[in-house]
Structure 1
């Protein structure tokens, strides 16, 4: 974009349009609304709500509470909810077998939420890490994450989620070729309407720690012989992200995602400029926890920081944001 030359001061006074709330709103370049938000939510197999210690204000919800949350999302104007499971450690194994259980907590939550608020979209994480006893996103063979056998398990998991009523599959595993395998399976099973939002540029980040606490795999990721850095992206790379995104689009992704969010706004901008595809950012657990911790210490204004951080994604070009702040932000935006 070419910026028009400006007349010198005092003919140009850029503060003129900033002097009142109405004029600031009139010339605002980006706008954040509840429709830009996807509510990130953790569901557990028990009853009620269980606070997540490392994420003040976030709770694991029972299936019944998830259904209530879907109604809340509808009433707040939040169009979609992304759900993630907390599984009893005794039910986990090396292969993540529970991921494909048609009566598992994710399937039950999807059905309950769709019954309660069918107008709200449901997005399901396609990955094995919440279900494996080693905490990795795939199957370990000979000290490494085996790409192709992992994809077979992911397809089983995704079809179970789709049959339960999931609207968007979100593969977060970062296995090569998984989007093509999912799209092929969906087509062959008659699920042509099911969308795929790929975690196309997912980095091996330090900002995931509280999430692993929330889903109960906080310490497990360090126990396996493999390393998440062998499948998640190097934080130093940008061109690699474009190659990942290009492949996922070519394989049938309807939407793409950059994760984490704020540390990777440059990646969001590059993806949007390069592909003009629906692009989302994930404001991850570590980003949430930092804002809440700083606010709890009185170092920042909590509400302003929440909206400013979410607005940054829109300014970078994202179509929407997956965030744990969704219901709070929607209330603030609707006030």
Structure 2
């Protein structure tokens, strides 16, 4: 008999039960945050053409959507608003009866247990599509901060459980934290879009949220996809300024960044599995090129393996269904 001296790693893969026993990373429905697009226009829900299965909802149709999410065990949503009217300072973002504020009130009345995260930005509400105040073609950092603070406070007043600023202005976490505290919202956490790249993967979202910039691009405030160390500086600044969660966006092409941020912080790290990543999988699945269920579960599990605690994903309902089927 031959003397074979090598490691027998396959012993721990010998059966499904054995593989379950030693699995290191497990995806749970509690890890999922579902994005909802809410429109001020009182028309029936409309599907986003580039994002099959994702809809823009009027307020009166939120009840059925919330019920479906709760039935699936999804307990957190992030809201994006589509206003009827826009202006150069995005006043609808911080109006007491803005669409995100009204949607928050509706959801909290329907389901007080549902965690509502308010996306805090101006781009969906400005007529130029940028995330701040414009002067002579440039986005003004400090002037934009005051409007973002007003937006965050108005969202908290409407009942939002978490404020999620996505604008990438320097100092935005500090100013929003100060604004929330001054208004008495000491216990409202900030889920900062700490590391947000100027990515081509956002294309379908801009259709869904009607938020494409009307001139130029966002490269002066969103990050260069080529940069790694800059991401660590951004995340460290937001943590120092008072962030309670750190988002990395997008996810699939930035797993190295997720791991780097995870290694640097003890805060919960959140992956945003963005619209382009969703659309590519849905398109390939529609053509019969991939096994959608296996691809989606593998993608989201890899995000957790990279170090995230939570995942914002348009696949949330699909994943919750898969996990229920496999239970």
Equivalent residue, structure 2, for 1:28: 23
Q: In structure 2, how many angstroms separate the alpha carbons of the residues matched to 1:9 and 1:24?
A: 25
1:17–1:117 CA distance, 2 compared to 1 (3 A) = same
Equivalent residue, structure 1, for 2:86: 92
**Do residues 256 (structure 1) and 246 (structure 2) align?**
yes
Query: Displacement, 1:153?
Result: 0.7
- Normalised TM-score (structure 1): 0.93
**CA shift digits 1:44-83 (9 cap, x unpaired):** 1224321000101111112233233233323322231001
Equivalent residue, structure 1, for 2:183: 189
**Do residues 137 (structure 1) and 131 (structure 2) align?**
yes
Gap runs ≥5 in structure 1: 1-7
- Normalised TM-score (structure 2): 0.95
User: Which of 219, 225, 228 is the matching residue for 1:229?
Assistant: 219
Q: In structure 1, how many angstroms separate the alpha carbons of the residues matched to 2:251 and 2:110?
A: 30
Q: How does 1:93-108 map to 2 (within 5 A)?
A: 93-108=87-102
- Indicate the RMSD between aligned Cα atoms, in angstroms: 1.4
**CA shift digits 1:240-261 (9 cap, x unpaired):** 0011011101111001000001
Gap runs ≥5 in structure 2: none
**CA shift digits 1:2-58 (9 cap, x unpaired):** xxxxxx956632222222111111110100010010011111122432100010111
Q: In structure 1, how many angstroms separate the alpha carbons of the residues matched to 2:297 and 2:255?
A: 16
**CA shift digits 1:207-257 (9 cap, x unpaired):** 000000001134xx1x33x53000000101011001101110111100100
Q: In structure 1, how many angstroms separate the alpha carbons of the residues matched to 2:39 and 2:219?
A: 28
1:11–1:85 CA distance, 2 compared to 1 (3 A) = same
User: Which of 65, 69, 72 is the matching residue for 1:69?
Assistant: 65
Structure 1 runs (4+) greater than 6 angstroms displaced: none
Equivalent residue, structure 2, for 1:4: none
**Do residues 175 (structure 1) and 169 (structure 2) align?**
yes
Query: Displacement, 1:134?
Result: 1.1
